[in-house]
Structure formats: C-alpha cells, structure tokens
C-alpha cells in the first residue's frame, strides 16, 4: 500500500460526504420545493443547469482516477462488482468530456442510463458488504477479490462502493440538470 493511500482516502471520503450532503439537500428540495422561494431556487437551478456538463465530467473524472489509484497505486484488487461498476463509470469521462467540448446536451440521455445501471450495482455492492454473510463472496469463484471486503470504512459509512454510488447519483443529477436546460 502506498504512503499516499490514507491521505487520498481521506480526501475522497470528504468529497463523498460533501456529495452525499448535496444529494440529501437536492432530495429535500425536490420533495418540498413548493415551500421555498422560487426565485432563489430558480437562480440556483439555472446556475446548476448551465454547469451540469462540467459537474458530471468532473465527478466522473474524480471517480475514475480514484478507482485507478486504488487498484494501481494502493494495490487494492478490484472485485467482480467493482469491475462492473468500472464498466459503467469509465465511459462517463469520455461521454461528458465530449459533451463539454462539443456543447452536446443529448449525451446526457446515454450517460444517465449508464449511471443508473452502475448506481444499482454500487448500491447492491454496498448492501452486500454491510451483510457479508448473506451472500457468497466473489473470491469463491477463484478469480477475484471478495465483494464483501472493505478496504476501509471512513466516517462511519464510506467505503469504495459508497463512493461509487455517490458518484453515480451525482452524475444522474448533473445529467438531469442538463436535460432540464435542454428542454428550456
């Protein structure tokens, strides 16, 4: 394990916490938006809609670089479910990068679809790691690290699958903001 691993893990954990706080605030706003001042909300939403492509690109880039750091630098072997999540995260960098470069908002439809599938896998993986006795570990098939193994637990709930789940949800929110702007 690299000497950088604890520092990178702490930084990514705090970014995940900030992302989770944002998700909760977004859900609270979504559920109760009638009670808020529509002028302030619309200004905030318009800003976010204009920046949705950049936001989703940065989230996907951080998630991809974090994933590569953990496997290539920290030496954490990815399990089967981690590989499936990577399949749905890595293309996001390219999709959102092209969307940013070309100002192409229709890419959001494809990226959101990828993020939903990746997010579902990440949620399952996180729940599996919480109840490791409820399922057979991936390592029993002989070619992967265990899907129930937690390399770390930060702030009482943050693991690699939670980081991925947060990233996928944030990408979905960014994509929905782009779609909202496109519809205007």
pLDDT tens digits, residue range 120-168? 999 999 988 887 665 555 554 455 566 766 777 778 889 999 999 999 9
Residue 39 lies in a domain: no
Residue 13 lies in a domain: yes
Higher pLDDT, 88 or 31: 88
Residue 84 lies in a domain: yes
Residue 164 lies in a domain: yes
User: Residue range 44-67: average pLDDT?
Assistant: 87
Residue 96 lies in a domain: yes
Residue 37 lies in a domain: no
Count the domains in the chain.
1
Q: Give the whole-angstrom CA distance, residue 172 versus residue 121.
A: 14
How does residue 14 score in pLDDT terms, banded at 50, 70 and 90? very high
Bridge partners (DSSP) listed for residue 53: none
Residue 34 lies in a domain: no
Domain boundaries, position 155 = 5-26+47-183
CATH number of the structural domain spanning residue 125: 1.20.1550
Higher pLDDT, 15 or 146: 15
Stated pTM of the model: 0.86
Residue 31 lies in a domain: no
CB 19 within 8 A of CB 167: yes
């Amino acid at each position: 394990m690299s000497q950088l691993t604890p520092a990178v893990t702490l930084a990514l954990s705090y970014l995940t916490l900030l992302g989770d706080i944002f998700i909760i605030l977004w859900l609270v706003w979504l559920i109760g938006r009638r009670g808020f001042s529509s002028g302030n909300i619309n200004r905030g939403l318009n800003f976010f809609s204009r920046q949705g492509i950049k936001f989703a690109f940065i989230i996907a880039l951080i998630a991809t670089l974090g994933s590569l750091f953990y496997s290539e630098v920290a030496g954490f072997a990815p399990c089967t479910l981690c590989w499936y999540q990577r399949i749905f995260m890595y293309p996001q960098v390219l999709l959102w990068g092209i969307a940013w470069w070309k100002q192409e908002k229709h890419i959001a439809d494809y990226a959101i679809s990828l993020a939903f599938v990746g997010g579902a896998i990440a949620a399952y993986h996180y729940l599996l790691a919480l109840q490791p006795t409820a399922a057979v570990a991936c390592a029993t098939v002989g070619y992967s690290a265990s899907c129930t193994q937690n390399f770390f637990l930060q702030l009482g709930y943050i693991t690699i699958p939670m980081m991925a789940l947060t990233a996928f949800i944030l990408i979905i929110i960014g994509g929905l903001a782009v779609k909202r702007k496109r519809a205007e």
